[in-house]
Structure 1
């Protein structure tokens, strides 16, 4: 989970609807929009002379109509019911990014796990089932490499293969709103959807954006926010993935929401939480999920291959950072027993 801070004092979420810039040379106002989309909350802060709320909503609706797995009328839902169908540019961009991350993560990021996600109680239908025979049979038709693009057509080797872009779509939504902002001449903005975010330029204080990254605390509530580190960044996307907030309790123990594409079962690796900074939030979102599924050794290689920056919080109470990520850190929490490694 990521929270974001004003360089002046407190959480940006405490800003009023419009925050006037402190500089006399900038007559523009920092405006704020927030709402619900895809069963999560979004917060957007941007400097502009005009209100872009209608454009924000229409952009998010456009992304949802293409990629929302919970919308039975979306393009993605139609893809899941077909063996071959024409897709739009939004689907293509997310599909191609998923292929790239899939390859760099040794197959540990895969958006075709929709039937498995549902089987474990996290996707549409929420049917919790750990029947070994059923899981093994589902693995026969999962795998993004069992699909391909032929022009504008997505083609599946097996009609039963289904996509779920939930691990990358929120990040892509941030990027699409950011693209809309730039088309409207907005240079300074922060777009956050469900904890994933895209930033550009500077915040109301004139400094780059300050982002607080939560320390993993497993809890039944989402109200606990204990900062592990604060980074200062701009012109990039950042995402954090972890099982400590999205899990289910069963009579056999806790089941995390990250599913292994290899075993078809909830994965348990040495990575408790992964934060990734990348050129786009779509890339950061997918890569953070891949880090959770792959474990630290593959995650480190993937970040190096893709030239992303990242921080991994590991099960032995240590924190690993890329050299570039460490340069972004402006404040780090002092946690008993925590060791920092590069």
Structure 2
């Protein structure tokens, strides 16, 4: 087993894989993650996404922009806009963007919502253009999952078929960890960050989590979480504490975990009745104020 760890995209990563040649691929993996950052990071003024946000159209330069746009469109349409990568103006207004600001006055949500809507961009496999000015993209709700997939595919290109790739808590596995051993991944307790609520077997699948317990701050006596409803412009104050999604790949799981958080428990349950490719582990607050969990049938036999 080869074990690698490092820092990328403002977080940490941990990668394990079985390789008879015992190759250390850290240098190549770091290079891949840096290249993705140069394309998709809103924290870099020179990234492709930042340059598009300052212009009206953009011709893709890297192979990473289009796949994320395409998946974003898929999740946007499937969830009726609960996931929307044009949410950047709201993200910034609430102080979660690259420029950290503290709120000193109420946000004019009505005017900001006019700047949001994925239907206001048009794209194909070669380029993207804005159909309304001031539209800006933010892939932070999906780019980390995509990065996990890209690294996983890189390992497979090297002939590695047994691995676990984790970046910032987003995970994808393939094959067995050892003889008779499957990869086991912990789900964090949203009420006690750092402590595990449960562990799940993850077999040839990806798992990502969205929660309001890590990224939040208080201003003028109010607590703001980073999950924003792109349709209303409001911070979500729902009973849901965390949503962990299991999907064939990490980009899919990452897009839907944010959407399900916005949609809430009941709407997510209805949605999942038609999507057998997805499973969820949702932690929410019951009417008695105590934490409760909702687990799809496909996961119950995995525990």
Same fold (TM over 0.5): yes
Query: Secondary structure of the residue that 1:94 maps to in structure 2?
Result: helix
Q: Give the match for residue 312 of structure 1.
A: 282
| Cα distance, 1:260–1:312 mapped onto 2, change above 3 Å | same
**Post-superposition CA distance 1:270-309 (Å, at most 9, x none):** 2111010001111111111111111112222333444301
The question of whether the paired residues in 2 share the 8 Å contact of 1:271 and 1:315 is answered with yes
The question of whether the paired residues in 1 share the 8 Å contact of 2:93 and 2:107 is answered with no
Match of 1:279 among 248, 252, 276: 248
Q: Give the match for residue 96 of structure 2.
A: 122
| 1:107 and 2:78 matched | no
- The CA deviation at 1:160 is 0.9
The question of whether the paired residues in 2 share the 8 Å contact of 1:98 and 1:286 is answered with yes
Two-structure CA RMSD over aligned residues (Å): 1.6
The question of whether the paired residues in 2 share the 8 Å contact of 1:105 and 1:298 is answered with no
1:133 and 1:197 map into 2 onto residues whose CA distance is 35
| Cα distance, 1:94–1:302 mapped onto 2, change above 3 Å | farther
Number of equivalent positions: 295
**Post-superposition CA distance 1:18-39 (Å, at most 9, x none):** xxxxxxxxxxxx1111111111
- The CA deviation at 1:325 is 1.5
**Pairing 1:56-205 to 2, within 5 Å after superposition:** 56-87=29-60, 88-129=62-103, 131=105, 134-204=108-178
- The CA deviation at 1:148 is 1.9
User: Structure 1: 5+ residue runs without aligned partners?
Assistant: 1-29, 219-223, 330-342
User: Structure 2: 5+ residue runs without aligned partners?
Assistant: none
2:38 and 2:173 map into 1 onto residues whose CA distance is 24
| 1:39 and 2:10 matched | yes
**Post-superposition CA distance 1:214-273 (Å, at most 9, x none):** 11126xxxxx42222211122111001110111101223211110111221211122111
1:204 and 1:123 map into 2 onto residues whose CA distance is 41
| TM-score, normalised by the number of residues in structure 1 | 0.82
**Post-superposition CA distance 1:172-231 (Å, at most 9, x none):** 00000000000000011111110001111111454110011011126xxxxx42222211
